[in-house]
Structure formats: structure tokens, C-alpha cells
């Protein structure tokens, strides 16, 4: 790794995280009450950029003992999405 850092040094003020340190989550999920869910409008009726798709492939790419869960997803859409 030393050679890589010599070729591409980190920006000023940025330091490497310890190898055994988990990064903070990018998303936090909180449970929603049924009342909250009932108040929400169906995204398919409201958002013109919301598309329905079918998941064809959902495979974990990282080993089970690795802390990250990286997945390969393939989704089929009936609409012509670009």
C-alpha cells in the first residue's frame, strides 16, 4: 500500500482509517407505524420518475465473513428506462 500512497497521496487533512474500524452507515432506517404508512401516497401514482421493476438477480459478491454486503443486482423494467 505504501507504493500506492506514494503515487496517489491522500489530500491534505485526510487520514487513513484503521483497518478494523467500521465506517458509519450511509443510511439509517427507523420503523414506521401503520398510521404513518397509511398516510403516504402510492409513489406509482405521484412520482412520474418512479418505475416498477422485477429483481432477476440478487447475489452477494463479498464473502459471508466480510462486514460489507456488496451485491450484484439485475432488475427488469417493463418501461423503456434510460
The reply to whether the predicted model has a pTM over 0.75 is: no
Separation of alpha carbons 20 and 27, rounded Å: 21
Alpha helices in the chain (DSSP H): 2-7, 34-39, 43-46
Mean pLDDT of 26-36: 92
Mean pLDDT of 3-31: 88
Domain spans of the chain, in order of start? 53-82
| 76 SS3 class | strand
Amino acid at each position: 500500500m505504501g507504493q500506492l500512497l506514494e503515487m496517489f497521496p491522500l489530500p491534505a487533512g485526510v487520514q487513513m482509517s484503521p483497518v478494523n474500524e467500521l465506517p458509519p452507515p450511509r443510511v439509517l432506517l427507523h420503523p414506521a407505524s401503520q398510521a404513518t404508512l397509511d398516510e403516504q401516497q402510492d409513489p406509482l401514482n405521484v412520482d412520474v420518475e418512479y418505475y416498477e421493476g422485477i429483481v432477476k438477480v440478487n447475489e452477494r459478491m463479498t464473502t459471508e465473513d466480510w462486514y460489507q454486503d456488496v451485491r450484484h443486482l439485475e432488475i427488469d423494467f417493463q418501461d423503456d428506462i434510460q
